[in-house]
Chain A
Amino acid sequence: MGDNILEVEALKAYYQMSYFGVNREVRAVDGITMNVKRREVYGIAGESSSGKTSFIKVLAAAIRPPLRVIAGSATYDFGGKPTDVTVATPAEIDAIRWRHLSYIMQGSMSTLNPVRRIGRIFEDFAARPLGLSGSAFRQRVVEHLGHLKLPPSVLNAYPHELSGGMRQRVTIGLATVGKPDFIIADEPTTALDVVVQKDVLSLIKNLQTEMGSSIVFVTHDMSVHANIADRIGIIYAGRLVEEAPTRALFTAPKHPYSAHLVASLPRIGDTTQRPALEGRPPSLAAPPAGCRFHPRCPLAIDKCKTEAPPLLAVGPDHRSACWRAADVEPLVPGHGRVGVTA
């Protein structure tokens, strides 16, 4: 695996349900191939119900029915024997969790048990995986909180006594105290105010640089991706539609959907009319044939309605799944328009 810490190969994960005699299959992750390099921040963007949450559930080895992995693999390489989380036993998952693989959750209030002090929460979660106890563990935690600009006194506080930003830093601390090699961050700053958001983001970035970890960063906010991600993967209706280095994705997107996401971002200092995308995201239970974006796509041709485009290289490190990738116009800064020619 060498350079890659995570390799995802043609991953398909469906929700399979049987309810009142009707079998239903929701194809939440439908053939995603990607990899994450060591020391890289990989941003995943997508709308709600695009399947991005299911995708990271698989990555976090939290695959529980009705979600099932149908095909493919997601393999981590933490130096020892590679672990494919789609087939790993609970014991193998336990062995990598917290020390190698960790997860920063969205709602800091619901993650932290409201009736336990922060110190106890750290013990509950992290003491066993780290193999430390008593004062050694406490010392490690205090030292780690120092990195997060949190005083040791927070260990004696209850979650509700902390501000939203502090709580989110505590959850980040909880996820990173084991100095994991791979961190999955699921909308970690969405609920925060702008000032605090930037602060927390820079904290995550600093920690990542210091520890040399890789991060998969999930958010629907493209401006967050612009500033934290090294590479970005855009997910639409269960499929990866474009993947590119951050700069390239923002300046020269090669998929109409990502072009739209970039073009619709409002900027201070620019009042040109921003386009809105018509239509709705497709149902994952009955996705449209061919390219799943074609009903909303300004560039759609007949081929798009029948044949699903493969994810092909369109530039260095840049892949796009669009039959007309060459016709997606690069965005001219200041002229917010969907990249459309003719």
Chain B
Amino acid sequence: MFAVLRDLIRYNAEFTIGLILVGIVAIFAALSFFSPVDPTQIYLAIPDQPPSAQYWFGTNSRGQDLFWQLSAAFKNSLIFGITVAVLSRIISIAVGLAAGYLGGWVDRVLMFINDIFVAVPIFPILVLFYFVLRNHMDSFTMALIMACFGWPFDARLIRSVALGLKHREFTRHAVFAGMSTRKVLLEEHLPYVMPIVFSTFMNNMLWSIGMEVTLAVLGFTNINNPTIGTVLYWANSHSAMVVGVWWWVLIPVILIVITFVGLFLLAVSMNEYIDPRSRLRRMGA
């Protein structure tokens, strides 16, 4: 695993740049664990201070130090994105592999459900949940809801790979070697879909963080919880650009772009994932 990572870093520029960008953001977000201030409190600092030696990212109109505010916001948003991605990956792997391998009525039922989730528009549903739950709508609840909507396309993708694997001779061989269905799916087929899982993992994070920002900017989330979206929400509601507090908008946007570009590059280069050294050996055959 480490050797794979090392080879990818050494020979794949996209992966290296992506890793550095995401690494910067991740370290920045991790700093919030050592934050000297509570990011949910307001008027702890002088409002509207431009970036300076004391306040690196300046302060906002609500009297918060933007450095620690954004650090907490990125931590929350990244955790949110990872939660959505992990949960929806689990669903899409389970559905995709089972539908592809078992086929028959299992496949038909799962794909029917799959298509319903593809067809239902997620945005109004999330707004509806917000209206019902109001301030009970915390990050985790929202992650759960989004995970329920984030899997169907990838499940179809995984199913199409599993369909091909089902008819490969090694699958039949495994069955006659007495392996159980669970074992066939997890040990024989899962390694083949891992590249898809990794690359869609990044895409899914991009999607869910983007969705969270959209909702938050419109005020459809718990606005007291610092996230990338709620930072922008408050900036907007205080007309930050109009009153000249440009750093309140510009700095988070730069960080978002870094995050998204980093995740995108990782997603692209993950296609190279399947153990490059075994590929090398196969090349010589």
A285 to B283, CA, bound (A): 9
B276 touches A20 (CB 8 A): yes
- Say which size band chain A's interface belongs to: 10 to 19
A19 touches B285 (CB 8 A): no
A285 touches B280 (CB 8 A): no
Choose, from A21-29, A115-123, A234-242, the stretch at the interface.
A21-29
A306 to B283, CA, bound (A): 26
Residue of A nearest to B284 (CB): A285
Residue of A nearest to B279 (CB): A19
Chain A 13-37 interface 0/1 with B at a Cβ cutoff of 8 Å (1 = within): 0000101111010100000000000
* Contact A24 to B284, CB < 8 A, known contacts A19-B276, A19-B279: yes
Chain B 1-14 interface 0/1 with A at a Cβ cutoff of 8 Å (1 = within): 00000010011000
A96 to B7, CA, bound (A): 45
Contact for B285 among A17, A20, A21, A283, CB less than 8 A? A283
Number of A-B residue pairs with CB-CB distance less than 8 Å in the complex they form: 27
A22 to B278, CA, bound (A): 13
A286 to B277, CA, bound (A): 17
A266 to B264, CA, bound (A): 58
Interface assignment of A106: CB less than 8 Å from any CB of chain B: no
A285 to B10, CA, bound (A): 24
Distance in Å: Cβ of B283 to nearest Cβ of chain A: 6
Residues of chain A within 8 A (CB-CB) of B11 are: 20-21
**A and B contact pairs by CB, cutoff 8 A, 23 listed:** A17-B283, A19-B276, A19-B279, A19-B280, A19-B283, A20-B7, A20-B10, A20-B11, A20-B276, A20-B280, A21-B10, A21-B11, A22-B280, A24-B280, A24-B283, A24-B284, A26-B284, A49-B285, A283-B284, A284-B284, A285-B283, A285-B284, A286-B284
Residues of chain B within 8 A (CB-CB) of A24 are: 280, 283-284
Residues of chain A within 8 A (CB-CB) of B285 are: 49, 283
A21 to B11, CA, bound (A): 7
Distance in Å: Cβ of B280 to nearest Cβ of chain A: 6
A20 to B277, CA, bound (A): 8
Q: How many residues of B contact A (CB 8 A)?
A: 10
Distance in Å: Cβ of B282 to nearest Cβ of chain A: 11
Which residues of chain B in 234-285 are interfacial with respect to chain A, using CB atoms and an 8 Å cutoff? Answer: 276-277, 279-280, 283-285
Distance in Å: Cβ of B255 to nearest Cβ of chain A: 32
Apart from A19-B279, A49-B285, what 15 extra A-B contacts exist at CB < 8 Å? A17-B283, A19-B280, A20-B7, A20-B10, A20-B11, A20-B276, A21-B7, A21-B11, A24-B283, A26-B284, A283-B284, A283-B285, A285-B283, A285-B284, A286-B284
Of the candidates B11, B276, B277, B284, the one having the most CB atoms from chain A within 10 angstroms of its own CB is B284
A49 to B277, CA, bound (A): 21
Residues of chain B within 8 A (CB-CB) of A285 are: 283-284
Distance in Å: Cβ of A285 to nearest Cβ of chain B: 4
Residues of chain B within 8 A (CB-CB) of A19 are: 276, 279-280, 283
A22 to B283, CA, bound (A): 11
Distance in Å: Cβ of B248 to nearest Cβ of chain A: 44
Residues of chain A within 8 A (CB-CB) of B277 are: 20
Distance in Å: Cβ of B275 to nearest Cβ of chain A: 11
A286 to B10, CA, bound (A): 26
Distance in Å: Cβ of A113 to nearest Cβ of chain B: 22
Residue of B nearest to A26 (CB): B284
A285 to B284, CA, bound (A): 5
Which residues of chain A in 277-305 are interfacial with respect to chain B, using CB atoms and an 8 Å cutoff? Answer: 283-286
A284 to B285, CA, bound (A): 7
A49 to B10, CA, bound (A): 31
Residues of chain B within 8 A (CB-CB) of A17 are: 283
A277 to B205, CA, bound (A): 55
Chain B 114-153 interface 0/1 with A at a Cβ cutoff of 8 Å (1 = within): 0000000000000000000000000000000000000000
Residue of B nearest to A18 (CB): B11
Residue of B nearest to A22 (CB): B280
Residues of chain A within 8 A (CB-CB) of B276 are: 19-20
Residues of chain B within 8 A (CB-CB) of A284 are: 284
Which residues of chain B in 1-37 are interfacial with respect to chain A, using CB atoms and an 8 Å cutoff? Answer: 7, 10-11
Chain A 200-244 interface 0/1 with B at a Cβ cutoff of 8 Å (1 = within): 000000000000000000000000000000000000000000000
